[in-house]
Amino acid sequence: MVAVEVVEVTDELKNTYDVVVIGGGAAGLSGALMLTRARRSVVVIDAGAPRNTPASGVHGLLAREGIGPAELVERGRAEVRGYGGQVVSGEVGTVAREEAGFQVALTDGRSVHARRLLLATGLVDELPDVPGLRSRWGRDVVHCPYCHGWEIRDQAIGVLGSGPLSVHQALLFRQWSDDVTFFSHTLPSPAGEEAEQLAARGIRVVDGEVASLEIVDDRLVGVRLTDGSVVKREALAVASRMVARTGLLSALGLRAVEHPSGAGEHIPSDATGRTEVPGVWAAGNVTDLAAQVGGAAAAGAAAAAQINADLIAEETRQAVAARARGAAPFSAELESRVCEAVLGDRRHGL
């Protein structure tokens, strides 16, 4: 592993960057790392509201199993800064198209110009209106069996009916425990093939609306129904409605749409993260609602490679046009611009 330099941390923004990354989670930082290593000038603007903050650790991430979410972010920031990238705290208020790219305005009054944008703002989990769900979220109220299943293995698990994927969720959690109860809550009781599947797997169905969670000594011990009955449970799985954070891009005409699965809203993109708005890529949960940390990081890296290729194509077109006009290919002015951002012997783009 190659060590990177320790650099001074500053929130002072330059006027223009090759790429502005909005969002500083796994997708955004991974994309920024790839771009800085490609000698691109990059700033990551992070509002500091990661989805996995309540979790005690990140799981299923090769060579970083169980790492705390905050530690993972700090490591990522240090790596990006080590290659000359910036990571600043702030919230983006507006993004507007301009002739040479985009203007990104922060809510604190700062603004920067970007040739390209990488949107990595993540999503918000919208939970059913049941007292106790939000406060226990990421602890003993969970959503992803691959993120939390091992930690609640062999426990009495409940699955709260909340949407079209709830029965599927119950069948998944059955892999980690043979004591799974499906609470239909406000949904119709499972029927037909779904009812047959639950019965075949030994998953009990409890009809009736859930009123609240029973908490004793800071632990979930049961699920209370509106009729007053309590079903003992040690963990509760809930399929949240996942909604991409995209309000800031409405001025560009980029809006979230319903995901084909019915699980929430996302920004559509192709396999490389390219959106329908030229110059804007998306990576992580903002476009892939089901992405875990490893997948989000991989998507950020893939999008970064495509952004760099797109910038190279633009720069090549400009060079060809300049050559056709008889301009010197390596004029003093061009050399000065190329070498503007320098860190040691590593040169970054405009």
Would you state the pLDDT for residue 330? Answer: 56
Would you state the pLDDT for residue 2? Answer: 47
Q: Contacts from 50-54 at CB under 8 Å and sequence distance 24+?
A: 50/25, 50/122, 51/25, 51/122, 51/123, 51/124, 51/125, 51/285, 52/138, 52/293, 53/138, 54/137, 54/138, 54/139
Would you state the pLDDT for residue 261? Answer: 87
Class of domain 128-238: alpha beta
Pairing of strands 241-244, 123-126: antiparallel
Residues of the chain with pLDDT under 50: 1-2, 4, 341-344, 346-350
- DSSP H or E segment with residue 319: helix 293-324
Main-chain dihedrals φ then ψ at residue 241, nearest 5 degrees:
-90, 120
The residue among 232, 252, 326 whose CA lies nearest residue 103 is 252
Yes or no: domain 16-125+241-343 corresponds to CATH 3.50.50.60: yes
Q: What is the pLDDT of residues 56-105, one digit of tens each?
A: 899 999 999 999 999 999 999 999 999 999 999 999 999 999 988 999 99
- Rounded to two decimals, the pTM is 0.88
As a whole number of angstroms, the distance between CA 10 and CA 6 comes to 12
- DSSP H or E segment with residue 194: helix 192-200
Q: Which token pair is 165?
A: 């994927």
Domain ranges of the chain: 16-125+241-343, 128-238
User: Can you tell me whether residue 168 is helix, strand or coil?
Assistant: helix
Would you state the pLDDT for residue 332? Answer: 56
Would you state the pLDDT for residue 349? Answer: 43
Confirm if 93 and 47 have CB atoms less than 8 A apart: no
Strand residue runs (E) in 73-179 = 86-89, 92-98, 101-106, 111-119, 123-126, 141-142, 157-160
Confirm if 192 and 199 have CB atoms less than 8 A apart: no
Would you state the pLDDT for residue 327? Answer: 62
Same CATH fold assignment for domains 16-125+241-343 and 128-238: yes
